[in-house]
């Protein structure tokens, strides 16, 4: 952890017991890596992974559009200056109100045949023809083989079987497709194969539905290393693969834009969760460090502990965004101690599941010391149950490149 981040944590620790700190420099570095690697691709930021205003603003300022998963995320993206054709609203289970609220503010991606009808009716009421995307559950799987049942999107075959019905709707025009099958993949070859399959799907859609597309949204998939043994996905190779696919594709589909969505690649590494040692005790020879908020501050390490301790499988399958892998988070003690000790890290909730690590060797800690957890930029604060025990909510802070620390959400 860089000195500038350590200093910011120590300074903010005088005001707050528990807080997230997002590092602007890291966000700029990761978004630049993507832009430099993928020529001619437009990135959409998956707002749901970290929706705090100054984080989102920073990512949008790098030229990213929005992957919005709710009407609120559409409205936030609009408020932050994005135009209709820069906001893509895709999620299962949109209500009539969601659709009416988003029409004219975002490109809506229908997640089911029912939604296509709902959008058609809402557009009819408004007297417009809505240009929409459809989310497809394709005939191929991310890891190879055939497609599988999914709550997301419309099965490819079902979409084609309904082509005539879809064409009969007067107030919608399908101008894009969206697929997302898997997150947090580090195997570059697998992601490449998925992208190759996606370009095949586009041809089938254009032929069967008799449409030309404004956009093809390849979804996400690009992971980040969490554990020390994780190896980064090769984003340059992914960009090069898409460039090659596009060199043929663009001959026939000159005006089709290619989108890639990402949440965690843009901001996952930028986040740190800091909490304070509020008590220390020894029970039956075991040293317990009680931290200000763990399960109710940054839930993922606590979930990982539960899964790894109680799951029947030796290596439980990853289950994003709640569980990634063993040793996914680093723990950094901020004090000058030169001694270490074996401790159990836990929070102050009245449940024995509020433990994040047992018998881990760390620098010796005392009451008042700050402990920092890494990899806390994505699906971290947003999935944490803050209501539990009505304890104070973790603050959302951002370290700017000029050294200042601002509220990340104002």
Ligand X SMILES: Cc1ncc(COP(=O)(O)O)c(C=O)c1O
The answer to whether 80 touches 59, Cβ cutoff 8 Å, is: no
Residue 263 within binding range of ligand X, rule CB under 6 A: yes
Question: Binding mask 328-367 vs ligand X (x if CB under 6 A, - otherwise)?
Answer: ----------------------------------------
User: Which residue reads 């007067």 in tokens?
Assistant: 170
Interface stretch with ligand X, choices 259-267, 297-305, 347-355, 397-405 (CB under 6 A): 259-267
The distance of closest approach from Cβ of residue 170 to ligand X in the complex, given in angstroms and rounded to an integer, is 29
**Which one, 51 or 263, has the nearer CB to ligand X?**
263
**Which one, 18 or 31, has the nearer CB to ligand X?**
31
Residue 261 within binding range of ligand X, rule CB under 6 A: yes
Question: Binding mask 369-398 vs ligand X (x if CB under 6 A, - otherwise)?
Answer: ---------x--------------------
Q: Tell me which of 264, 269, 276, 305 binds ligand X, using CB under 6 A.
A: 264
The distance of closest approach from Cβ of residue 263 to ligand X in the complex, given in angstroms and rounded to an integer, is 3
Interface stretch with ligand X, choices 116-124, 179-187, 284-292, 348-356 (CB under 6 A): 179-187
Residue 84 is given by DSSP the state: G
Q: Tell me which of 26, 31, 112, 220 binds ligand X, using CB under 6 A.
A: 220
Nearest CA among 138, 142, 164 for reference residue 152: 138
The distance of closest approach from Cβ of residue 67 to ligand X in the complex, given in angstroms and rounded to an integer, is 5
The answer to whether 353 touches 302, Cβ cutoff 8 Å, is: yes
The answer to whether 369 touches 276, Cβ cutoff 8 Å, is: yes
Find residue 178's DSSP bridge partners. 135, 217
With H, G, I as helix, E, B as strand and everything else as coil, classify residue 283: strand
**Which one, 58 or 220, has the nearer CB to ligand X?**
220
- Which residue in the shown chain puts its C-beta closest to ligand X? 263
Question: Binding mask 52-71 vs ligand X (x if CB under 6 A, - otherwise)?
Answer: ---------------x----
E strands, 208-339, in order: 215-217, 257-262, 271-283, 286-291, 331-334
The answer to whether 352 touches 254, Cβ cutoff 8 Å, is: no
Tell which positions 83-122 bind ligand X, by CB under 6 A: 90
Q: Tell me which of 37, 109, 183, 384 binds ligand X, using CB under 6 A.
A: 183
The distance of closest approach from Cβ of residue 268 to ligand X in the complex, given in angstroms and rounded to an integer, is 7
The distance of closest approach from Cβ of residue 305 to ligand X in the complex, given in angstroms and rounded to an integer, is 22
C-alpha span between 17 and 151 (Å, rounded): 40
Interface stretch with ligand X, choices 257-265, 304-312, 353-361, 365-373 (CB under 6 A): 257-265
C-alpha span between 89 and 132 (Å, rounded): 10
Residue 195 within binding range of ligand X, rule CB under 6 A: no
Helical segments of 233-325, H only: 235-252, 264-267, 299-310
With H, G, I as helix, E, B as strand and everything else as coil, classify residue 239: helix
Convert 194-212 to b/e letters by CB count within 10 Å (16 or more is b): bbebbbebbeebbeebebe
Q: Tell me which of 18, 26, 49, 112 binds ligand X, using CB under 6 A.
A: 49
Tokens of 38: 């993928």
Provide DSSP, 172-185: EEEEEEE------B
Q: Of how many residues is the chain composed? A: 410
Interface stretch with ligand X, choices 112-120, 178-186, 278-286, 385-393 (CB under 6 A): 178-186
The distance of closest approach from Cβ of residue 264 to ligand X in the complex, given in angstroms and rounded to an integer, is 4
Residue 37 within binding range of ligand X, rule CB under 6 A: no
Nearest CA among 50, 19, 10, 21 for reference residue 291: 19
**Which one, 17 or 184, has the nearer CB to ligand X?**
184
Bond into 321 cis (ω within 30): yes
The answer to whether 132 touches 110, Cβ cutoff 8 Å, is: yes
The distance of closest approach from Cβ of residue 386 to ligand X in the complex, given in angstroms and rounded to an integer, is 21
Q: Tell me which of 37, 58, 184, 348 binds ligand X, using CB under 6 A.
A: 184
C-alpha span between 361 and 340 (Å, rounded): 6
**Which one, 122 or 181, has the nearer CB to ligand X?**
181
CA distances from 18 to 151, 251, 327, 371, 372 (A): 36, 54, 22, 10, 10
**Which one, 69 or 394, has the nearer CB to ligand X?**
69
Interface stretch with ligand X, choices 33-41, 260-268, 330-338, 345-353 (CB under 6 A): 260-268
With H, G, I as helix, E, B as strand and everything else as coil, classify residue 202: helix
Q: Which residues bind ligand X (CB under 6 A)?
A: 46, 49, 67, 90, 180, 183-184, 219-220, 261-265, 378
């Amino acid at each position: 952890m860089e000195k500038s981040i350590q200093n910011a944590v120590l300074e903010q620790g005088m005001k707050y017991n528990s807080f997230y700190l997002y590092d602007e420099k890291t966000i700029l570095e990761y978004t630049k890596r993507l832009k430099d690697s993928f020529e001619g691709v437009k990135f959409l930021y998956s707002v749901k992974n970290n929706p705090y205003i100054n984080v989102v603003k920073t990512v949008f300022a790098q030229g990213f559009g929005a992957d919005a998963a709710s009407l609120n995320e559409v409205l936030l993206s609009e408020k932050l200056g994005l135009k209709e054709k820069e906001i893509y609203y895709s999620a299962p289970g949109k209500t009539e109100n969601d659709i009416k609220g988003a029409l004219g503010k975002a490109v809506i991606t229908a997640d089911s045949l029912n939604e296509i009808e709902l959008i058609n009716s809402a557009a009819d009421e408004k007297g417009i023809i809505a240009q929409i995307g459809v989310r497809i559950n394709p005939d191929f799987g991310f890891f190879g083989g055939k497609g599988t049942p999914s709550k997301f999107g419309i099965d490819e075959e079902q979409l084609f079987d309904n082509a005539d019905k879809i064409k009969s709707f007067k107030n919608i025009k399908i101008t894009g497709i969206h697929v997302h099958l898997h997150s947090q993949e580090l195997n570059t070859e697998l992601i490449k194969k998925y992208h190759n399959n996606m370009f095949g799907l586009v041809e089938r859609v254009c032929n069967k539905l008799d449409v030309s597309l404004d956009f093809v949204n390849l979804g996400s998939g690009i992971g980040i290393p969490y554990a020390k043994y994780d190896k980064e996905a090769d984003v340059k190779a992914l960009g090069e693969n898409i460039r090659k696919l596009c060199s043929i594709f663009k001959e026939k589909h000159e005006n089709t834009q290619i989108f890639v969505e990402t949440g965690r690649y843009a901001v996952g590494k930028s986040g740190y969760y800091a909490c304070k040692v509020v008590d220390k005790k020894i029970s039956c020879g075991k040293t317990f460090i009680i931290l200000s908020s763990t399960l109710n501050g940054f839930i993922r390490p606590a979930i990982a502990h539960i899964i790894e301790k109680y799951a029947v499988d030796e290596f439980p399958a990853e289950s994003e965004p709640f569980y990634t892998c063993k040793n996914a988070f680093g723990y950094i003690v901020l004090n000058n101690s030169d001694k270490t000790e074996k401790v159990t890290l836990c929070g102050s909730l009245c449940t024995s599941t509020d433990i994040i690590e047992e018998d881990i060797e760390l620098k010796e800690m005392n009451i008042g010391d700050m402990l920092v957890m890494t990899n806390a930029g994505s699906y971290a604060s947003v999935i944490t149950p803050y209501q539990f025990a009505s304890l104070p909510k973790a603050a959302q802070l951002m370290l700017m490149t000029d050294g200042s620390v601002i509220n990340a959400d104002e």
